[in-house]
Chains A and B, each alone.
Chain A
């Protein structure tokens, strides 16, 4: 029961309270770039969720089974980025084979998941928070992906409506998106302190 409780708290915390996009500024590039349409945002969110779950778990295993016992922590960043690049390659091949239309609509953004800071950021945060339990690491990684999906979908929903709004000319495009994101983080600040 205790374990379940910790896992549930961790999950809620990373989805809402410590949302990577809104409080840690990770994954801002796709957050601003792909959030034009809600269906694409959702697809992107799912792809990121998959990659982040896979790479969060794998990097934890790599870190604890190979790097720490062999005192190779220095090579941690190089190894992490290799694992992430491999995971992205896997997702890319899978989507190209089974969902060709989705693959077409992603275009360049799919390989760019490799350089999505949310993924490397999460692997580093798991390391920083000193998570020493595989299950916890997996749940946190999955939660991070869900949190990213939620943030990007909310943003896409707002932006679809923003198209109809009369925005001052100099603020059109990226500036108003950033300001909207700012207001969104303000809303999410209400959750701060709910869970440690």
Chain B
């Protein structure tokens, strides 16, 4: 996929869709596990995290793509990391200024986007090899796939842990909340079972 010329029609759509299912960063590539597990106790922080990752991924892909001809091979990862760290600082300051409570909830997991493998992986695998538009579309696809996965996981956990989603109760009154779902154990086991489900679905599709 990486070697196709950008002029080919349909490549944008293909790249966009790849991030959503075929190369979904969490379900398929098992990348970015830390935020996936850490911020998915509720949907709101998960969504914020997803948006931050989309922003950083988009900006770093654009910059890496523009400077890709200047990069020296052995310094390349360091340059990627520094680029990403800069944009993460911007995102973090933005959150602190405009969504102080959310910033507090997410805590150190916002700066930890720096070491989120998805972003370095896309910089290395896509942005440093492809044209600008492919890189942008790839960042959007991967970012959306990540956000969607986070929201699914967070939705399941929030409903089971509290019986409500976005402050709206959706479970019947007799439902007893599973406190364990909001704890680390719930994160690990839900993700494990979801991965199993994804394995079954993708096997059926083939």
Contact = CB atoms under 8 A, between A and B. Distances in A.
Chain B interface mostly: helix
Contacts, number: 118
Interface stretch (B10-18, B30-38, B65-73): B30-38
Interface in B82-120: 82, 85-86, 88-89, 92-93, 107-108, 111-112, 114-117, 120
A121 B77 CA distance: 19
Interface residues of B, number: 42
B63 to A, nearest CB: 14
Given A81-B85, A185-B184, A178 B112 contact: no
B5 to A, nearest CB: 30
Interface string B106-139: 0110011011110010000000000000000000
List of 10 A-B pairs having minimum Cβ-Cβ separation, nearest first: A182-B188, A178-B192, A179-B192, A182-B189, A124-B108, A175-B195, A28-B33, A25-B38, A25-B37, A170-B199
18 contacts: A24-B38, A26-B34, A29-B117, A32-B30, A74-B93, A77-B88, A77-B111, A78-B85, A81-B114, A114-B81, A115-B117, A121-B34, A124-B111, A125-B108, A174-B30, A174-B192, A175-B199, A179-B192
Interface of B: 30-31, 33-34, 37-38, 77-78, 81-82, 85-86, 88-89, 92-93, 107-108, 111-112, 114-117, 120, 180, 183-189, 191-193, 195-197, 199-200, 203
